[in-house]
Amino acid sequence: MTEQLRLMAVHAHPDDESSKGAATMAKYVSEGVDVLVATCTGGERGSILNPKLQGDAYIEENIHEVRRMEMEEAREILGVKQSWLGFVDSGLPEGDPLPPLPEGCFAVQDVDEAAGELVRLIREFRPHVITTYDENGGYPHPDHIMTHKITMAAFEAAGDPTRYPAAGEPWQPLKVYYNQGFNRPRTEALHRALEERGMESPYGEWLKRWDEWNRTERELTTFVPCGDFFAVRDKALIAHATQIDPDGPWFKVPLEIQQEVWPTEEYELVKSLVETSLPESDLFAGIRDN
């Protein structure tokens, strides 16, 4: 049944797909699974985070088109399909008090109306499994939180023929997961492994901040073995050159250590219409045999 399986990953901006669940997607593509990334916004208000490209006038003036080209390169590397939902990046508001969000941006849209765009794509692609962010967005970026809201609304509505009747024939996805790759057990395991080898860890400050915030850890239900695809993940991430410094902290842990110590990507199963046993090692657990 592998050739019939379909996975949709819903993300807020171009580059999110490469930093959250990319190795999982590459693994499933290698097995013949049809994988589609739904990108909610164009990343128009994203900053140039790679210091090597800061001050480039062309990039600054054409950030939307540059990020579209980066997304296309990453898409090819991962082997996935990709669709734009067409919403406008909200930016990350900063200051005290926080400024209002820009008029017309993704995060200020009506949730039901915005979910209709995703319902249309779900009914067209017909995924068995959807991945997205938790209610906190993974981190509190307004676009990530809105991505969560419309994904959960669309999951509930896509199979209902009375909802969004102009959006195509109903299709009910069977499972929805939250990406939880930035979790404490993984971070602590890699931190210890680096220190045991006498190497500098990029995670010391992360762990201190988590302690200060008294962060509540999410339940990890699903561990997808995909270490063989970490290099593909990193290559896709580097394709988003405006967002990622190839000499930055993302790449401080050698691949061989990651593959030895923590060769999985993690998810939180939040809705399932099929029976499955936890913990899982497959997003399609409970679906493959039915």
Q: How many residues does the chain have?
A: 290
Binding residues for Zn(2+): 13, 16, 144
Q: What is the largest CA-CA distance in the chain?
A: 61
Q: Which residue has the tokens 């850890």?
A: 217
164-188 as b/e: b if 16+ CB within 10 A:
beebeebbebbbbbbbbbebbebbe
Give the integer Cα–Cα distance in Å for 265 and 24.
7
The distance from CA 279 to its chain's CA centroid, rounded to whole angstroms, is 21
> Which pLDDT score is estimated for 206?
84
Binding residues: 13, 16, 144
Q: Which residue has the tokens 């990193």?
A: 234
H or E stretch at 157: helix 142-157
Q: Nearest Cα to 141, choosing from 227, 43, 216?
A: 43
- Asked whether 21 and 180 are in contact (CB, 8 A), the reply is no
Give the integer Cα–Cα distance in Å for 255 and 265.
14
Dump strand ranges (E) for 204-263: 222-225
- Asked whether 103 and 117 are in contact (CB, 8 A), the reply is no
Q: Which residue has the tokens 């909610």?
A: 40
Q: Whole-model pTM?
A: 0.95
Query: Average per-residue pLDDT in the chain?
Result: 94
Residue 94 has pLDDT above 70, yes or no: yes
Residue 257 has pLDDT above 70, yes or no: yes
CA-based radius of gyration for the chain: 19
> Which pLDDT score is estimated for 250?
83
The full set of domains in the chain, from first to last, is 2-182+219-272 (3.40.50.10320), 184-217 (no CATH)
Give residue 1's pLDDT band: very low, low, confident or very high (50, 70, 90).
very low
Q: What is the pLDDT of residues 110-137, one digit of tens each?
A: 999 999 999 999 999 999 999 999 999 8
